[in-house]
Amino acid sequence: MKQRIYIVGAGAIAGYHAEAIERYAESEESRPSLYVTDVNQAALAAFAERFPWATPVEQLALMLDEPSREDDIVIVATPPVTHADISIQALRSGRHVLCEKPLAMNREEADLMLRTAEETGKWIGCCSSRFAGLQITEEVKGLLAHGTLGDVYQVQWVQRRKRARTGIEYQPQSRWFLNRSVSGGGTLMDWGPYDIASLTEVLQPERVEVLHAWMTNPATGHPIEAEANSEVEQHVGATMRFHLAGGAAVTVQYERAACCHGEERSLAEIEGTGGAVHWDWLCFDGHGELKQFYDVNGEAEASQKKVENAPLGMMDKPIVYFMQALAGQQTPAILNEQAVFNFSILAAIYDCIATGEVQTIVKAEGARR
């Protein structure tokens, strides 16, 4: 029988998942059966018109009441405020869940999602895997594994855009991104899941301490900003300490801005006693540049190279990786304990800002990426 995939939410992101499912299938006969539901009937109708091979279902309850099969997958593609509730319902219906980022609204919800996955024997995955598994990332991991950089002591992860606010400059029709009670937060919840997923993929920490953190919302004259009365942060930063498996403790300077008045820049750099590496972690166009810095007889030297990545598109990765993981393959899918650990780092940054106190997150033993 064909595999069945159920998408909850019929908006823009749901369309990307449907396209990925169609591309991943070797033929129309092997393509999974797709079902979709949305509380917005107009959005549901538009989705059904765009993807006539998908079956629209008017209500979530009707979708989940159908007897489950072992390999059923539910993709949660709704605003974050609904992620935990829908994911838990889907898990309890006997189905695996791939949830959009951010995984939840807070640590309590994320922990409940994980407990439910464990109780039901199902997988909970997160779509923060869109930049996971890049060849350039493997190159950086190789440098660390071989000790090429010496003792790593500092990581700088700085991603600053002047005007790239979701709900304002990007996807302005989606004003809910600016409502904290629906989105859970601003750019930290929007782009932070990708940042943390990439940092944990490279460094593979077992414990993270958020030592200091801050956030703000720079003011601009954009008419949507005034009209929507944005209440979420668009510029955030944190100083963290990543504790690695071998006992090393690495300081991570993190910054993310969807709006700032200073210079734009993207910096992903690891520095050690024996050298440093700087790399393009996004690779939107399929390749990236890796720069390595080192010493030769007391002189500072550098080399760089282009690294090509696999053709799998960023928007295809979450569902493709998830399906591969369910099939028993080794993939960069972000699953169960790893998904909750990554999200908990984001939540801890907010908690550190709110309390001024150091926050500590420990990865559960046996965590699966």
* 5 has a pLDDT exceeding 90: yes
- pLDDT the model gives residue 47: 98
* Listed range (26-30, 85-89, 269-273, 321-325) with the worst mean pLDDT: 26-30
- pLDDT the model gives residue 359: 98
* 195 has a pLDDT exceeding 60: yes
Instruction: Give 24-73 pLDDT, tens digit per residue.
Output: 988 888 899 999 999 999 999 999 999 999 999 999 999 999 999 999 99
- pLDDT the model gives residue 366: 54
Look up residue 297 and give its two tokens: 């007889």
Say if residue 102 is preceded by a cis peptide, omega within 30 of 0.
yes
- pLDDT the model gives residue 285: 84
The partner residues of 213 in beta bridges, in order of sequence, read 238
* 148 has a pLDDT exceeding 50: yes
If DSSP codes are grouped into helix, strand and coil, which group holds residue 82? Answer: helix
Burial of 173 (0-12, 13-18, 19+ CB in 10 A): exposed
Domains in the chain, ordered, with CATH?
Answer: 4-129 (3.40.50.720), 135-312+335-362 (3.30.360.10)
Look up residue 39 and give its two tokens: 């509380």
Residues found in the chain: 369
- pLDDT the model gives residue 26: 82
As a whole-number percent, the residues of the chain with pLDDT over 90 amount to: 92
What average pLDDT does range 261-286 have in this prediction?
A: 95
289 pLDDT band (50/70/90 cuts)?
Answer: very high
* 367 has a pLDDT exceeding 60: no
- pLDDT the model gives residue 226: 84
Specify whether the backbone of 31 is left (phi greater than 0), alpha (psi in -120 to 50) or beta.
Answer: beta
369 pLDDT band (50/70/90 cuts)?
Answer: very low
Report the DSSP pairing between strands 299-308 and 205-216. Answer: unpaired
293 pLDDT band (50/70/90 cuts)?
Answer: very high
Q: What distances in angstroms separate CA 109 from CA 21, 180, 186, one per listed residue?
A: 28, 16, 18
What average pLDDT does range 264-277 have in this prediction?
A: 98
If DSSP codes are grouped into helix, strand and coil, which group holds residue 95? Answer: coil
* 368 has a pLDDT exceeding 50: no
Instruction: Give 331-360 pLDDT, tens digit per residue.
Output: 999 999 999 999 999 999 999 999 999 999
Q: Which residue has the higher pLDDT, 368 or 243?
A: 243
Q: What distances in angstroms separate CA 240 from CA 1, 204, 303, 309, 338, one per listed residue?
A: 48, 14, 29, 29, 18
Global pTM exceeds 0.95: yes
